[in-house]
Structure 1
Amino acid sequence: MSTPSHDYTGGARDVVTPSPAREAAPRVLASAVGMLELTRRKRLHHPRGRVGRVIHFADGTSGRIYRETIVDEGVAADPAVLVVGFVLRGIHGRAHRAFRVESWLNTPLFVGFPGFTAKLWTAHDEHEVYRGFYEWDGADRAASYVHALSWVLGLVCVPGSIRAHITVGVHSADALAHPERLGPSGTGTEQWWRPLAPLSPR
């Protein structure tokens, strides 16, 4: 039986509908406060074991992992894999490296959301698409996060470039080691979120 998989999008295909600012902003602020508590309790970690490895996606693109962020052991009780993709407005060439450095400052935007467990940050692919490859504790929590996040991303991204896909019942490590657990494979732009093969070595 295939694993449940959903595009948590609204409006046009593959375009996430953001929450209104009045709803999203307080939740993002609460995430930042939550990060302070996670840090104080030493529950927030940035392991290096997978940094530098490459995820190959079914749409023919690839992204190199440049950071990993986890809470505790990074394993959810009710796992869901969330992949978020976006294209930054006006970021090209050497500016990508500057963004990857600056992106440390974006950590408070997600780690304090209820259900966050782990994130792999991937550098831009051949079409300048960045991806976040998450493990979330609860698909509904992941979907709620996406709609709040997209309000923030919408301020800095190419319009219509923000996409999200959630697969229920699989851990991110299993998805990367055994992509077939994400369900039937395919090719083309609709498979932008799906790892094509096991995580490559450095």
Structure 2
Amino acid sequence: MRQRLADVAAQLFTDRGYDAVAMVDVARAAGVAQQTLYNYFPAKPDLVLDRADDMLERSRRAVADRDRSTTPAEALRSQVHGDIDHFAARDAVFARGEFPAQSVISASLRRYALAFRNDQAEAIAAAIQQTDPAVPALVARAHASALTTVMQAVTDGIGEAILSEADLAATARGLHVDVDAALTDASEAFRSTAARFAESS
């Protein structure tokens, strides 16, 4: 039922755009009561960014539970590459109604996406403080923000490729290369920073 409702919503968003579709429209198109829809998706943004709390927790846990020889960027590398592959494998027409494309089109959804990235950065920063207590809170927050910027750039790149009907496989290959470069740079910076504060503590 959850997947069916999400698919119906994605089709409506494809046809009309996120901002023009109300929750009642999704319920009617799916042939269910509004309360049934709300049981699965408490708010409209959840229809395009399903299980946002799980995504946030997954990134937090990857950083908090990483081996101490691994940087936060390295811990998140497989997750970011997995997101690229997931979206690149979607049907291009159907994907127009999903989060990456709709967050490029819709100003309200864009605000929601950026608020989510802010929360994600705070969670990652807290994990860094847990694993590397010598690193100041502001430095941890700045590093976490850089990592979530990479994640959002991937989402934007996929969304723009979907909307422009670009070759998703080629887009994914380019994003994989760019992500590796960005995360390697972030990883090197973190190692240097963490070592400097560890020596001074």
Return the TM-score normalized by structure 2: 0.28
Return the TM-score normalized by structure 1: 0.28
More strand by share: 1
